[in-house]
Amino acid sequence: MRDNNIAIKLSIPDEKAGMRLDQALSQLLSDYSRARIQQWIHDGNVLLDGKTCKPRDKVSGSEEVSIDVELEPEGQWLPQDIPLEIIYEDEDIIVVNKPIGLIVHPGAGVPDGTLVNALLHYDINLQKLPRAGIVHRLDKDTSGLLVIARSIRAHTSLIDQLQTKTMQREYAAIVNGELSSGGTVDASIGRHPKNRLKMAVVNGGKTAVTHYRIKEQFTKYTYVHCQLETGRTHQIRVHMAHIGHALLGDAVYGTKSDKLKQKLRRQALHAARLTLKHPGTGKAMTFESPLPKDIEEILELLRNDYS
């Protein structure tokens, strides 16, 4: 049986001074809901400088917080028998190759039929982890590699690797236009000011950095590999569109003059390579996923007709 106890020790940063304790902790522990953190405090599972506390207590900075609690199921998601392509698994992690069209997490208008539902069917113990062990996501129509935590130890480690940028995620993409060289896009991303369903490069958004390099050049198109330094919603799609090279087939951020988009019917984006440190052994591990058939076919077309 896996350890579903969570033990956290942290110091309240000085910049949180004046905030309610539950508000400060929900920002510091963003993988747990504020309601859950409030319940932990009410149940006496949270100590502030060694003393029990209340959610509304104000913090002044530098306080020591200790949390010791046994996790209970986070959501009411149903296990569903949805096929999974598992690349690797052990007691700490599962690495899956997500297919095109599969949504990662239930949300508004999508109560089930997601990767989370599939994972719960595969391992019901995942219901005791935040977001069923999901630590990063892929868009519905982006294929490729995702790592899922199976233990608190793994969840804590993987979140830390994402935050410290030591987990490496590399994506294969086909973009519109002819790039002359690789580069880096360092531009903050937030909600689009006029269309709340889209993201955009905006002042005051969250820091976002994408590195890209050319793999093959074609007439009017370029095959690139992108490496994420951060993980914002739609990051690669927004960044490449921002520099005038929207992804082939991208119905949200793409261009109407994209002549090949009808041959793909989704954005040409695939999570091809994932490198992480194993949460238990500390060993560096790299996983690779070959290009899916639809992107391979587009590349062959480009090599034959657009070179």
Catalytic annotation, residues: 139
Residue 113's H or E segment, with its range, is: none
H-helix or E-strand spanning residue 251 = none
Q: Count each helix (H run) and each strand (E run) in the chain, helices first.
A: 6, 15
Nearest residue to 98 (alpha-carbon basis) of 115, 110, 111, 82: 115
21: nearest Cα among 59, 62, 63, 76: 59
109-118 burial, b at 16+ Cβ within 10 Å, e below that, comes to: eeeeebbbbb
Helix (H) or strand (E) holding 116: helix 115-122
How deeply is 293 buried, as exposed, middle or buried, from its count of CB atoms within 10 A (0-12, 13-18, 19+)? exposed
**Whether the Cβ atoms of residue 298 and residue 169 lie closer than 8 Å to each other:** no
DSSP string, 16-74: GTTSBHHHHHHHHTTTS-HHHHHHHHHTT-EEETTEE--TTPBP-SS-EEEEEEE----
What is the β-pairing status of strands 143-149 and 269-277?
A: parallel
Tell me which residue has tokens 């709340």. 196
How far apart, in Å, do the first and last CA atoms of the chain sit?
56
| CA–CA dist 202, 35 (Å, integer) | 30
Q: Which residue has the tokens 């490198």?
A: 275
